[in-house]
Amino acid sequence: MKNTLSCFGLTLVALLLPAVLSAQSAGDEAAAKIVSKKKSKKKKKAKVEQSSTEDDALDKKYSADLKEKPAKRYFRFEFKQHPAIRMGKWFRMDFRLKFQHDFRNFGPEVSTDEGELSNLRKFRVGIQGYITKNFEYEIEREIRDDIGALFHLRDRPTLALWRDVYGNWRYFRRVQIRAGQFKIPFGMDQMHNSGFIYRSLIGNFLAPGRDVGIMAHGKLFDSRISYQAGLFEHDGWKAHTKDHERSGEGTFAGRVVLPPFNLFKTPAFLSKAKNLELGLAFTESPLTEGLRSLRGRTWVITHNWFDRINVRGHRLRLGGELNWQPGPFTVQGEVIRVRDQRLGQGIRGDDLPDLIGRGWYFTTGWVVTGEKPAGGIVPRRDFIKGRGFGAVQLAARYEQLRFGSSEHPGLPSRSSRAANIFSTSERIATFGTNWYPNRFVTVQFNAIREVLEDPNNAPIPGVDTYWSKFVRIQFSF
């Protein structure tokens, strides 16, 4: 009972707080409009290219600060997109908060360590900003364990408390340097939220995630081609073992994204395809010997349908991605292949065929209310306050993840030292509806259908199909 009351209490705060924040923001915007109407000076509009990276979003956000007229107060607090402290034009600190709470049920019924009915999924606080126009920073920490204990909420404990902690030096816009802890540039779905409650299988189990490192990045050819290349201490959080040990050593990663129909003059009938982006990415890292391969897990109760096996040598990831967002529509797809070497892992110390993990997904979406999804969905008319309904998006995704051997000598076996690993896979279909009452709150409804190829290694032996229904309430600024 206490858990339910606490949960609804936090939900109520999440729904009411945006109204207060929006009112303050609306007042500031109204005052700015009155001042601008009194002045009839004309300004030229600058063309802004669409961005597919988080650092480009920061460039857009903070470039407006440089164009502002001198403020009456040198030190000031403001609330436009986020609560922020400003000092002239050389210092800015935005305060960030992300809250997510899930309600769910499963069919057939299964037990889980994350709570049958509800689960505090995320509660993060952070700061983000710049010190002079040439240095940006971001610090974010997960505090859901502390909040869960305080309000007696069910949550899954995490040891990954510090999330993004990095600085970005951007004196040369085309060659910027980022250092600290952040996401390794691999996997579009892992790097950017796709609008579903859960990431795809390949985004969660094949992509590396965050790690400590240094990376060069930027945009070339009139900001048409973006690139990222970096060195990292390990192989990312997603590859860690049960004891939170990293499976890979020093990792080199690279990623390039370009719009093929925007590099040259195209016919009029291809104008809608100008914002279509294609990307390629890779990572390479040495593998520490042991049970350190990647694994496959279900979303139902995070049940392992493919366990870790013995590996040694090198890990190579290859990925391709497609992103197209014409108007209110979204079309996305990604394919990833991972090769883990198994040198000297045979019973007699002989080399075994490589372990191959491969998968793909295809996503489509439509914002029914007409807003553009590129850069994040912001309702044209807020619910209640704006005398509207907010924004509504329908989305669907189909995906597969498979593990097996690169070669198939002899009979397949489940042994971690078998030459021919028993090949198995999982397919998932996800159907979602996202409601954005205002820019601070998102309510998501997802129905997930999972089908396991091997029913003998399922949460319920002999049952290969599972349905999960989720409702997520998210508040962020």
CATH number at 153 reads 2.40.160.10
* Average model confidence (pLDDT) across the chain: 84
> How far is 234 from 240, CA to CA, in rounded Å?
9
Containing structural domain, residue 302: 2-25+50-476
Q: Which residue in 316, 328, 386, 325 sits closest to 354, CA to CA? A: 316
> How far is 251 from 283, CA to CA, in rounded Å?
7
User: Would 277 be classed as within a structural domain?
Assistant: yes
What was the pLDDT predicted at 435? 97
What was the pLDDT predicted at 35? 39
**Mean pLDDT confidence for 343-355:** 93
User: Would 42 be classed as within a structural domain?
Assistant: no
Q: Structural domain tally of the chain?
A: 1
User: Would 116 be classed as within a structural domain?
Assistant: yes
> Which range among 17-21, 53-57, 84-88, 276-280 has the greatest average pLDDT?
276-280
> How far is 290 from 23, CA to CA, in rounded Å?
57
What was the pLDDT predicted at 392? 97
User: Would 38 be classed as within a structural domain?
Assistant: no
Backbone angles phi, psi at 63, to 5 degrees: -65, -30
User: Would 442 be classed as within a structural domain?
Assistant: yes
**Mean pLDDT confidence for 220-249:** 85
Residue that has been written with the tokens 């097996």 in this structure? 404
What was the pLDDT predicted at 386? 80
User: Would 131 be classed as within a structural domain?
Assistant: yes
Residue 249 has pLDDT above 70, yes or no: yes
What was the pLDDT predicted at 55? 52
User: Would 352 be classed as within a structural domain?
Assistant: yes
Q: What confidence tier does 5 reach under pLDDT thresholds 50, 70, 90?
A: very low
Residue 242 has pLDDT above 90, yes or no: no
User: Would 45 be classed as within a structural domain?
Assistant: no
Q: What confidence tier does 68 reach under pLDDT thresholds 50, 70, 90?
A: low
Q: What is the pTM of this model?
A: 0.85
